[in-house]
Chain A
Amino acid sequence: MTLRLNLVLGGLLLAAVAGTAATASVWTPFNPVAVNLRRRLAAPTDPYWLGTDEFGRDVLSRLMVGASTGLTVALVTVLVAMALGITIGLLAGFFRGWTDRALMALNDALLAFPGILFALGLLTVIGPSKWGIVLALGLAYAPAVARVVRGSVLSLREREFVEASRALGNSEAYTLWRHVAPNCVSPLTVLATSMFGWVILSESALSFLGLGVPPPAPTWGNMLAAARPYLETATWLSIAPGVMIALSLLGTNLLGDALRDILDPRT
Chain B
Amino acid sequence: MIGYAARRLVAAIPTLLLVAASVFLLMRLIPGDPAQLMLGDAATPEEVEALRRSMGLGEALPLQFAHWAGAALTGDLGRSITNGLPVLPLILERFGVTALIVLVAVGLAVLIAVPLGMLAAWKQNRPADLAVVGFATLMLSIPSFWLGLILLLVFGVWLRWLPVVGFVPFSEDIGAALAYVVLPITTLVLIEIGALTRMARAATIDVLRLDYISHARAKGLSEFTVLRRHALPNAFAPTLTLIGLVLGNLLGGIAVIETVFTLPGLGRLLVEAIFQRDYPVVQGVMLFVAAIYVAVNLFVDLAYPVFDPRVTAE
Which residues from chain A sit less than 8 Å from chain B, CB to CB?
2, 105-106, 108-110, 112-118, 120-125, 197, 201, 204-205, 208-211, 224-225, 227-228, 231-232, 235, 238-239, 241-242, 245-247, 249-250, 252-254, 257, 267
Q: CB distance B153 to A254 under 8 Å?
A: no
A121–B27 CA distance with the chains assembled, in angstroms:
8
Q: Hey, which chain A residues are within 8 Å of B130, CB to CB?
A: 2
A2-B130, A109-B19, A121-B26 known; A114+B248 contact, CB < 8 A: yes
Q: CB distance B252 to A116 under 8 Å?
A: yes
Q: CB distance B19 to A121 under 8 Å?
A: no
Q: CB distance B15 to A108 under 8 Å?
A: yes
Instruction: Name the distance in Å between B134's Cβ and chain A's nearest Cβ.
Output: 10
Q: CB distance A246 to B152 under 8 Å?
A: no
Q: CB distance B274 to A120 under 8 Å?
A: yes
Q: CB distance A238 to B22 under 8 Å?
A: no
- B22, B146, B290, B293 — most chain A CB neighbours (10 Å): B146
B241 sits at the interface (CB 8 A): no
- B143, B145, B256, B282 — most chain A CB neighbours (10 Å): B143
* Cβ-closest 3 pairs across A and B: A114-B252, A109-B18, A242-B146
Minimal Cβ-Cβ distance residue in A for B29: A125
A208-B259, A231-B157, A231-B164 known; A250+B274 contact, CB < 8 A: no
Q: CB distance A105 to B256 under 8 Å?
A: no
Partner of A211, one of B144, B260, B271: B271
B202 sits at the interface (CB 8 A): yes
B300 sits at the interface (CB 8 A): no
Q: Hey, which chain B residues are within 8 Å of A246, CB to CB?
A: 138, 141-143, 146
Size of the B side of the interface (Cβ < 8 Å), in residues, is 55
Q: CB distance A249 to B293 under 8 Å?
A: no
B255 sits at the interface (CB 8 A): yes
Q: Hey, which chain A residues are within 8 Å of B97, CB to CB?
A: none
A112-B15, A205-B256 known; A257+B137 contact, CB < 8 A: yes
A116-B249, A210-B275 known; A245+B143 contact, CB < 8 A: yes
Partner of B290, one of A113, A247, A253: A113
A105–B135 CA distance with the chains assembled, in angstroms:
38
A127–B206 CA distance with the chains assembled, in angstroms:
45
Partner of A109, one of B22, B125, B289: B22
A116–B286 CA distance with the chains assembled, in angstroms:
11
Q: CB distance B282 to A209 under 8 Å?
A: no
Q: A120-B270, A224-B146 given. 18 additional CB < 8 A pairs?
A: A2-B130, A109-B22, A112-B290, A114-B290, A116-B252, A117-B253, A120-B271, A124-B279, A205-B253, A205-B256, A208-B145, A208-B259, A225-B259, A235-B153, A242-B142, A242-B149, A246-B138, A253-B137
A2-B125, A113-B22, A211-B274 known; A250+B255 contact, CB < 8 A: no
Q: Hey, which chain A residues are within 8 Å of B157, CB to CB?
A: 231-232, 235
- Some 26 contacts from A to B, beta carbons below 8 A apart, are A105-B18, A112-B18, A112-B293, A113-B293, A114-B253, A114-B293, A117-B251, A120-B271, A121-B282, A121-B286, A124-B27, A125-B30, A204-B143, A205-B253, A208-B145, A209-B271, A224-B149, A227-B149, A231-B152, A231-B157, A238-B153, A242-B146, A246-B143, A253-B140, A254-B137, A267-B202
Interface residues of B in 122-175 (CB under 8 A from A): 125, 130, 137-138, 140-147, 149-150, 152-153, 156-157, 164
B14 sits at the interface (CB 8 A): yes
A121-B286, A231-B153 known; A249+B143 contact, CB < 8 A: yes
- A2, A108, A242 — most chain B CB neighbours (10 Å): A242
Q: Hey, which chain B residues are within 8 Å of A115, CB to CB?
A: 249, 252
Q: Hey, which chain B residues are within 8 Å of A231, CB to CB?
A: 149, 152-153, 156-157, 164
Instruction: Name the distance in Å between B161's Cβ and chain A's nearest Cβ.
Output: 15
Partner of A113, one of B19, B140, B152, B205: B19
A232-B157, A254-B137 known; A114+B259 contact, CB < 8 A: no
A119–B147 CA distance with the chains assembled, in angstroms:
23
Q: CB distance A209 to B259 under 8 Å?
A: yes
A249–B194 CA distance with the chains assembled, in angstroms:
13
A95–B204 CA distance with the chains assembled, in angstroms:
37
Partner of A114, one of B149, B249, B271: B249
Q: Hey, which chain B residues are within 8 Å of A110, CB to CB?
A: 22
A246–B149 CA distance with the chains assembled, in angstroms:
13
A109-B18, A209-B256 known; A242+B150 contact, CB < 8 A: yes
Q: Hey, which chain A residues are within 8 Å of B18, CB to CB?
A: 105-106, 108-109, 112
B72 sits at the interface (CB 8 A): no
Q: CB distance A228 to B260 under 8 Å?
A: yes
Partner of B274, one of A114, A123, A238, A252: A123
A118–B152 CA distance with the chains assembled, in angstroms:
29
B57 sits at the interface (CB 8 A): no
